[in-house]
Chain A
Amino acid sequence: MYDKTDFSQEHINYIKSHKSFKRAVSFTRIIIFITIFFVWEIAANLQWIDPFIMSQPSRMLKTVITLSKDGSLFLHTGVTLYETIVGFVLGTVLGTIIAIILWWSNFLAKVLDPYLVVLNALPKTALGPVILVWIGGTTKSIIVMALLVSIIVTIISVYSGFSNCDEDKIKLLKTFGANKRQILKLVVLPSNIPAIISALKINVGLSLVGVIVGEFLVSKEGLGFLIIYGGQVFKMDMVMMSVIILAIAAALLYLSVLWIEKKVTKMM
């Protein structure tokens, strides 16, 4: 790929300036992070802000420690993670299966089109109370919430990927006498792996929305429960801590999907 391996001074300088730029970026990021928490801590100590309402890093840390000791922190985080993962995997898999069915039957696709449009526009969380009544206040209805939030977008985006599959590639397979199932297996599905993974990426975030709203409603366990419970009993330390743990969990989930994407695109 490259012409030379013994670099010229010009090239070495280029690499150097690139590296120092990257270092400056990382350094600034860390400084901003530390500053926020530091100023927050000081401001609360000096009573510039009311720590009872705004909470405070050291208090949040204390809450982490207390909740870790009786293991409840891990329970709640674990529950939220579990529900989210089940939700977005189910949403992506079921959504893709339904997209396949729609691709298969143009008639069905045309018939269902307006329903999908309306369902897509509807904020699915509005159905929360309905699901709660129908399924009951259990983990099941939280997962259904997460599923509901992500499945419609998945169907729509994956189906549109399927129908935009290169006509000439399909023609090529047809010249070998391929049937519909073979066209699906050999070109439509594999050429849409990127579309499915990008649906997976979007679904991580959507599924989390469904899970948190579900936990608000069911109010039994999970980070959503900690947040709503903390809010009700005015334990802002618990609320803030849960939000931060949620942010970390969300980022970790997203990063794992990115990792999967990298693995898959490498394989392709």
Chain B
Amino acid sequence: MEKIVEMQNVSMNYHSLGGETQAIKSLSFDILDGEFVSIVGPSGCGKSTLLSLISGILKPSKGRILIKNEEVKGPSKNIGYMLQKDHLFEWRTIIKNVIIGLEIQGTLNKETYKSAEKLLKEYGLYEFKNYYPKQLSGGMRQRAALIRTLTANPDLLLLDEPFSALDYQTRLAISEEIWLIIKKEKKTAILVTHDISEAISMSDRVIVLTKRPAEIKSVYDIVLTCENKTPITCREAPEFRYYFNSIWKELDVHV
């Protein structure tokens, strides 16, 4: 399979008058086309920074990041970003929220508008297209946020703890749903999460980071024996506990 992301010795420092914060230290890894990779690590270790670097809204202090063999120079249409909260704009209807990326990129026309409507239809939000975000449930809002990301038609999705604002029940359901959508649309995804079960159940690979400055501690290729692989059925697989326990130990959480 082709490499879609290549991180080559990437370091990132933040500067403020108080001093210098080293967030990421010579990090290298590749992500393959169509892969679903999760990144776990202690909070504050530099996971969000990593995604911002890949998306091109931050520039690395050292090293190079390649997307499809081209160096990242700024935000690109190839990449979609989903944040912790849905950040739907309350003053825009769902459809207007969903097409905001097209508006920004200057690609809003009849065709792209139709394809946005099609996505809404496909994922059960079409009847709500003229509703305002506050009229939707938390799960529906998160789905709308994903559709907003998909509308710009990126190849790579960056998900920064996208479910952590939801309650547990909704979280299980929506992560299943979003996983299915991502697979159906054949996207590559990098998911940042602090939920180990979520990481194992959704991913092909889990990368564990050290505490700040983030370096790779270990990488797990997730192989689970289960039929009809989806995040919820994966949780029943016999190997699940094994992965969970090793990653838990790696993270070395002290309370």
Listed in ascending order, the chain A residues whose CB lies under 8 Å from chain B are 166, 168-169, 171-178, 182, 186-187, 190-191, 193, 267-268
Contacts and interface: CB of A to CB of B under 8 A. Distances in A.
Contact of A176 (B83, B85, B91, B100): B100
Nearest to A190: B91
B238 interface: no
B101 interface: yes
A172 B98 CA distance: 12
B87 A175 contact: no
B57 A172 contact: no
A174 B87 CA distance: 13
9 contacts: A168-B83, A169-B87, A176-B105, A178-B104, A186-B89, A186-B100, A186-B104, A190-B89, A267-B91
A173 B104 contact: yes
Nearest to B90: A268
Contact of B75 (A166, A174, A190): A174
B154 to A, nearest CB: 9
Contacts of B75: 174-177
A172 B104 contact: no
B160 to A, nearest CB: 10
The residue in B76, B83, B89 that gathers the most chain A C-beta atoms within 10 A of its C-beta is: B89
The residue in B52, B76, B103 that gathers the most chain A C-beta atoms within 10 A of its C-beta is: B103
Given A168-B83, A172-B83, A190-B91, A177 B100 contact: no
A175 B74 CA distance: 9
A177 B85 CA distance: 19
Interface string B80-93: 11011101011100
B169 to A, nearest CB: 22
Contacts of A267: 91
Given A168-B83, A171-B57, A176 B89 contact: no
Contacts of A186: 89, 100, 103-104
Given A176-B101, A182-B104, A268-B91, A171 B83 contact: yes
Nearest to B77: A177
B95 to A, nearest CB: 15
Given A171-B81, A176-B152, 5 more contacts: A168-B84, A172-B81, A173-B100, A176-B105, A186-B104
Given A168-B83, A186-B104, A175 B55 contact: yes
Nearest to A179: B104
Nearest to B84: A168
The residue in A174, A175, A182, A268 that gathers the most chain B C-beta atoms within 10 A of its C-beta is: A175
Contacts of B81: 171-172, 175
B57 A174 contact: yes
A166 B103 CA distance: 20
The residue in A172, A187, A268 that gathers the most chain B C-beta atoms within 10 A of its C-beta is: A172
Contacts of A193: 91
A193 B90 CA distance: 12
B110 to A, nearest CB: 20
A168 B85 contact: yes
Given A171-B57, A186-B100, A177 B76 contact: yes
